[in-house]
Amino acid sequence: MASHLSMSGNFSNPLKLSFKSIICMFSGLTYFSIAFRHDVGVCCLRSIPVGGAWVVHKSGIGFRFLLIVGPWQLLKYLSFVIRKTGGFSPFYQIHTVSRYLNLFSSEEMDLAYIRIVELMKKDPSVRGVIREGWLLDPNLEKVSPNLAFLRRIPQENGAMLFRRVTTNRNIKVALSMSSTRRRLYQEGKYKPTFYSYIWPRKALIEWADGYHGK
């Protein structure tokens, strides 16, 4: 994994940002924060910063996806994984790092996908990208249309979306970030719902190869 990073200049800025953050945290003695643990993971190359507000790490899919809602959707999920990815591991899983939300944008997300494809091209074993969270809820577009890019770009370019079991914690997190979502939830007009997507390797590479910026 280290060789993959050193071979690409596109990763220099995300790496520098993480290394700078961890140095500042040592100075501030905030050793037990979530952000500190994230940066340690980057320094150990367990996680890879791909720009914007995102990191990836290798992960498998399987048992947690059995929490998909409904037997028909589960069969659809199994069929999709077998036909489009050929297996359940490994995938790159995308995580949002809240400390970098100032870099959270559609343009930065596109560039992050491009960097992920660079990694995938150097590692043929990776079957695609997976992501999960309330931000992928299709109904969110009606409430917070500025966040729709997180779902629409993958889904419109070969990713399959699956509805998952939604916990009280998922709902709490979604509502904590927006007074509009809280109000609509209280009015019964919006309920956060947890989703996952699988973006197969071939489809993601095809999207990246045809990407011409915005």
- Give dist(CA 154, CA 89) in Å, integer: 19
Q: Write down the mean pLDDT value for the chain.
A: 86
How many C-beta atoms lie closer than 10 Å to residue 180's C-beta? 12
What is the rounded distance in angstroms from the CA atom of residue 50 to the CA atom of residue 118? 10
Query: Where do the domains of the chain lie, and which CATH numbers do they carry?
Result: 2-209 (3.40.630.120)
Give the three-class secondary structure for 166: coil
In the numeric block, which tokens belong to residue 61? 């899919």
Whose tokens are 């498998």? That residue is 60
For the segment 105-147, what is each residue's pLDDT rounded down to a tens digit?
999 999 999 999 999 999 999 999 999 999 999 999 999 999 9
Chain-centre distance for alpha carbon 194: 13
Mean pLDDT for 87-96 is: 94
pLDDT of residue 3: 42
Are 60 and 94 in contact by the 8 Å Cβ rule? The answer is no
Model pLDDT for residues 49-61, shown as the tens digit of each residue: 898 999 999 999 8
Q: pTM to 2 decimals?
A: 0.85
